[in-house]
Structure 1
Amino acid sequence: MLVSRAQLDFVRTQVNANAQPWRNAYTQMMASKYASLSRTPKPRAIVECGPTSNPNLGCTDEREDAIAAYTLSLAWYITRNSQYATKAIQIMDAWSATVQDHTNSNAPLQTGWAGASWTRAAEIIRYTYTSWPNAGRFGTMLRNAYLPKIINGHATNNGNWELVMMEATLGIAVYLEDRTVYDRAVAKYRTRVPAYVYLPSDGALPKTPPGSGIDTRTEIVNYWQGQSTFMEGLTQETCRDFTHVGYGIASIADFAETTRIQGQDLYPEIADRLRTALGFQAKYELGTAPPSNLCGGTIHRGLGPVTEVGYNHLHTRLGLTMPNTQTLTESRRPQGTNNLFVAWQTLTHANNPH
């Protein structure tokens, strides 16, 4: 998921050749706390995450251990130093032996964030390292302690929730080789992306998430953070803040990237929405002042390190011209991690044709 063997081989070749931007991205990753071989995992039986992570009982520890496992898996593949694989396995084994459930209001979001990183790490280790005796137990953990919290989605919350929940659900389905779960994630994604990014072809009002009960103009405007003028590429959270938009854009791209690797390319279905969402947000992230009919003339920037996957597919593979997204993406390389579920996209996806 997210990165295929061919993509990883491309990255490894570029890093070993000291080519840019991959070498700088690799150096950034290896200098991070997530690549440390002395990391001690901090598993908990019950991870409790309230609103804005209050209480935070294992929430940060879980997310960061999951990112560390993914980071160490990438480090293993690029360096072929088995110490990195062993450390990734140690972290994953510690959690699969311990965690039982996620509770409190942010449990679905937390489970999505951590689940997205866990599954990336697990796939790399499972198929490229010599031995992982507890790989089956890790799958049991994903099915029992993660999947129930995310598989049904969360239609009424802000869209970044359901998008990352489906991203993690898809990753779990791939790891478990569970076609039923995979198909459920795809079905939900196909309705959620159109309800997150507006296109003029949608009509006067944006599409709404099925099952949300949001169906009047007043309810839709309220759901779109009070925004009543709908523009191409606007997202449901643009007038909330760009950071949360970044979460949504990352999951939209990550999901499509995984389906493409799995042989069911969903990019054609969501390409216009992803392209315009990236371009719209990039324009204002780069400093353009918003007009008065966009968020009342006030926006909150901070898109995050989230543009590489979508930009790589649309520009590198398809050849689409995306000037604002290109300027933003290239100016912020190497894109690192948001410490939640996005990590090292410049390393894995910058100019990656595979």
Structure 2
Amino acid sequence: MKKLVLLFMLFLPWAAASAQFKHPGLDQSTADLAQMKSLVLSGTQPYRAAFDRMKESIDLDAEIKAFAHVLRGSYGRPNIGGGELSKGANTAYNAALVWYVTGDRQYADYAIRILNAWSATLWDFDYNDAKLLAAWTGHSLCNAAEILRYTKSGWKQQDMDQFRDMLMTVYYPLMRFYYPQANGNWDGAIIHSIIAMGIYLDDKKMFDNAVDHFLHGPVNGSIFKYIYPSGQCQETMRDQAHVQLGLGEFAGAAQIAFTQGTDLFSIANNRIGWGFEYTARFLLGDKPHSYGVISERAKELRDDYEYVYRHYQRAGIHFPHIQRAADSVRSKAGRSVLTSVRVAPKQPASLFTPVLATHIGIVGAQGEKDMTVAPENPIVVSPGESIQQALDKAAGGKRIVLVKAGIHTLDTTLRMPSGVRLIGEGLKTVLFLNPASGRDAIVNASDDMSDVVISNLVVEGSTKTDPGTDPNSNRSFRSNAGNRGGIIFRSQHAGQMKRIKFQNITVQNCTFNGLLVSGAEDVSIISCNFSENGGSVVPGPRLQHNVFVSHCKNVTVRDSRTVTSPFGSGIAVLHASNVIIEHNEVARNGFYGILVTESNQVRITDNLVEGNDRSGVMLEYLHRGSSGVTVNNNHIHYNSGFGLESYAATGLKENNNLFAGNGNHSSQQKISNEKYIVMD
């Protein structure tokens, strides 16, 4: 049995757990700060100019006004004390840096007065953005405090104790449980601040907890939930200001961790870099592929690129669009240029060897027409016309029903007859079931349905076709979407339905299963995109999935994407045989990545399985267990459970898989002969 397993150093979760923290040790180490100071004082550009801009932004005569209760609502309405706290935190950090470089005590005094004023006054945060505001400001306050504490700044011990008390009684209780249900910039910021607090407070458990959430946080909470393998981000469809905010917070957390010898920049083939590269590419005028429409809102480049660019430059990794973005904002930047200084060339040893993600290309509904099937003598259906009438007309004749671009609102569930090819014109062909008209969008017209192709269209399972400016607000765990299924094909016994093919379809936002095929033979699922299917509706969470195949034979799922099921698995296989799951992206699902139960002769190969909230691949035992399962040549990393978990499977063959960062275990696999039934 040959396998590649990337283990953590000394079998401990993180590097920082094996040694004391270095101080100062947040955005920069002692050596980094000294190098930055030398560059500034020698007049080296761009550092001197950045320092001058930062220093000029500080008004030493400005009043420091602290609040006991900081109240910030959504988008800053209301905002009582939030602006003052944000400005104060940034000014304190800037002033501490000026003090460090120049030795001018009035800047140290001003930074100390800011920290003392807030730590003596602040009691709590409230309203919608309470956690977010704490997260935005916590890491800046800690950076300022770290510099003041470890230089001869004159900060008194009693005031340091008071600051510590504020962190532990106001900041940490508010942030410690994170908030992954919000857009991912929230948890990125919370992680950033908790990592900073953990180091400042010399609390390794706090630091480790934040790093674990960075890697394994649920919903929108981890780096893998926020940045997809292509570099597209969870908020790409929302607006580019929030995307850059989220990227900056995750990268800021990685910047601090890197100072302590924990390399979060390099994980998963430098995932942070790909997130910045994708976004910079779009903001600089290119049009990268996106699952969903990239938002054109708030396209101004933020000042978050310099330290990311410098980090990868030192590592010998070139991201051309990150460099262009950094070049374009550098003349206006201040602190970000200074904190990009690291003592080169030595880097801390990475605990996480870069993983080359499986590339499956662009999948799901595509362009204006499906080139895989020549539209000979089609029955054409335009929006407003009856698809069901066209299907009934085509039944049995192996004819094509061509559904034109547009939103096709279904008054009743479509019933798919045998011998029909239902083809759309790509992403613009949307089949949308009226929420008052039934549960499932498409079902089989007869138990013995056969010779069916569905290709190049979208099945929209939400209660509306417009996701709005914040797609996260429409996710099934946040909205009352009801019980809505996608394509549901069921027969009465195994193999009753035959020869069913799905190609280049997109099925999304169904609270029930996205695709359920039960009792069929010869099923092909090729180059499809199943996203956000499988919610917490009846009969309950973890029972419906993106793709669910049961009591089927000869099934292929290839070159597809099964992602972001809120409560289900990416692919679930039950009582099936001769199943091939090959070259798919199976990611960010709320249950297992791939779940195989009581099935035989299943081959799982060459898949990217990442960021799922349980194990990446699970071979479950219920009564007899599975047999003849092969798991090989997969990239299985950063799932919250094991990479591969198996109970009482016979004839399991596992080889040449690349495991990394799964759970917090020294072992990346749990392969047991025990007839153990999972009950939680």
TM-score bracket relative to the smaller structure: 0.7 to 0.9
Q: Does the Cα contact within 8 Å between 1:193 and 1:252 map onto a contact in 2?
A: yes
Task: Say whether 1:11 aligns with 2:41.
Answer: no
Name the amino acid aligned to 1:169: I
Q: How far apart are residue 79 of structure 1 and its match?
A: 0.7
Q: How far apart are residue 318 of structure 1 and its match?
A: 0.4
Q: Secondary structure at the match of 2:43?
A: coil
Higher Cα radius of gyration: 2
Structure 2 partner of 1:268: 266
Could you list the structure 1 runs, at least 4 aligned residues long, displaced by more than 6 angstroms after superposition.
none
Distance 1:39 1:14 in 2: 29
Distance 1:130 1:180 in 2: 29
Segments of 5+ residues of structure 2 without an aligned counterpart are: 1-25, 217-221, 346-680
Task: Say whether 1:141 aligns with 2:147.
Answer: no
The one-character-per-residue Cα deviations of 1:180-225 (angstroms, maximum 9, x if unpaired) are 21111111111200110001xxxxxxxxxxxxxxxxxxxxxxxxxx
Which has the larger share of helix? 1
Distance 1:78 1:182 in 2: 28
Aligned residues with identical type, % of pairs: 32
Q: 1:349 to 1:145 in 2, by over 3 A?
A: same
User: What are the equivalent positions in structure 2 for 1:123-202 lying under 5 Å apart?
Assistant: 123-133=146-156, 134-191=159-216, 192-199=222-229
Equivalent of 1:328 in 319, 325, 329: 325
TM-score w.r.t. length of structure 1? 0.84
Name the amino acid aligned to 2:323: Q
Q: How far apart are residue 116 of structure 1 and its match?
A: 1.6
Equivalent of 2:49 in 10, 24, 28: 24
The one-character-per-residue Cα deviations of 1:261-285 (angstroms, maximum 9, x if unpaired) are 1232333325521111111111111
Q: How far apart are residue 76 of structure 1 and its match?
A: 0.3
Name the amino acid aligned to 2:46: P
Structure 2 partner of 1:346: 337
Equivalent of 1:87 in 110, 118, 132: 110
Q: Does the Cα contact within 8 Å between 1:85 and 1:129 map onto a contact in 2?
A: no
Distance 2:239 2:53 in 1: 27
The one-character-per-residue Cα deviations of 1:297-321 (angstroms, maximum 9, x if unpaired) are 6523124101122221111x20111
Q: How far apart are residue 288 of structure 1 and its match?
A: 2.2
Q: 1:352 to 1:286 in 2, by over 3 A?
A: farther
Task: Say whether 1:278 aligns with 2:259.
Answer: no
Q: How far apart are residue 68 of structure 1 and its match?
A: 0.6
TM-score w.r.t. length of structure 2? 0.44
Equivalent of 2:73 in 27, 50, 55: 50
Task: Say whether 1:119 aligns with 2:119.
Answer: no
Q: Does the Cα contact within 8 Å between 1:63 and 1:113 map onto a contact in 2?
A: yes
Q: Does the Cα contact within 8 Å between 1:21 and 1:350 map onto a contact in 2?
A: no
User: What are the equivalent positions in structure 2 for 1:303-318 lying under 5 Å apart?
Assistant: 303-315=301-313, 317-318=314-315
Q: How far apart are residue 6 of structure 1 and its match?
A: 1.4
Q: How far apart are residue 130 of structure 1 and its match?
A: 4.0
Q: How far apart are residue 234 of structure 1 and its match?
A: 0.2
Q: Does the Cα contact within 8 Å between 1:283 and 1:324 map onto a contact in 2?
A: yes
Q: How far apart are residue 171 of structure 1 and its match?
A: 1.0
Distance 1:12 1:36 in 2: 21
Structure 2 partner of 1:340: none
Q: 1:271 to 1:16 in 2, by over 3 A?
A: farther
Which has the larger share of strand? 2
Root-mean-square deviation (Å): 1.8
Distance 2:45 2:29 in 1: 20
Q: How far apart are residue 248 of structure 1 and its match?
A: 1.2
Farther off after superposition, 318-327 or 266-275: 266-275
The one-character-per-residue Cα deviations of 1:223-281 (angstroms, maximum 9, x if unpaired) are xxxxxxxxx10000111111111111111211112112123233332552111111111
Structure 1 partner of 2:245: 247
Distance 2:98 2:268 in 1: 32
Distance 1:144 1:314 in 2: 37
Task: Say whether 1:70 aligns with 2:68.
Answer: no
Distance 1:84 1:4 in 2: 20
Q: How far apart are residue 39 of structure 1 and its match?
A: 2.2
Q: Does the Cα contact within 8 Å between 2:86 and 2:137 map onto a contact in 1?
A: yes
Segments of 5+ residues of structure 1 without an aligned counterpart are: 200-231, 337-342
Q: Does the Cα contact within 8 Å between 1:197 and 1:234 map onto a contact in 2?
A: yes
Equivalent of 2:130 in 107, 116, 124: 107
Q: Secondary structure at the match of 1:194?
A: helix
Q: Secondary structure at the match of 1:97?
A: helix
Farther off after superposition, 92-101 or 248-257: 248-257
Q: Does the Cα contact within 8 Å between 2:72 and 2:133 map onto a contact in 1?
A: yes
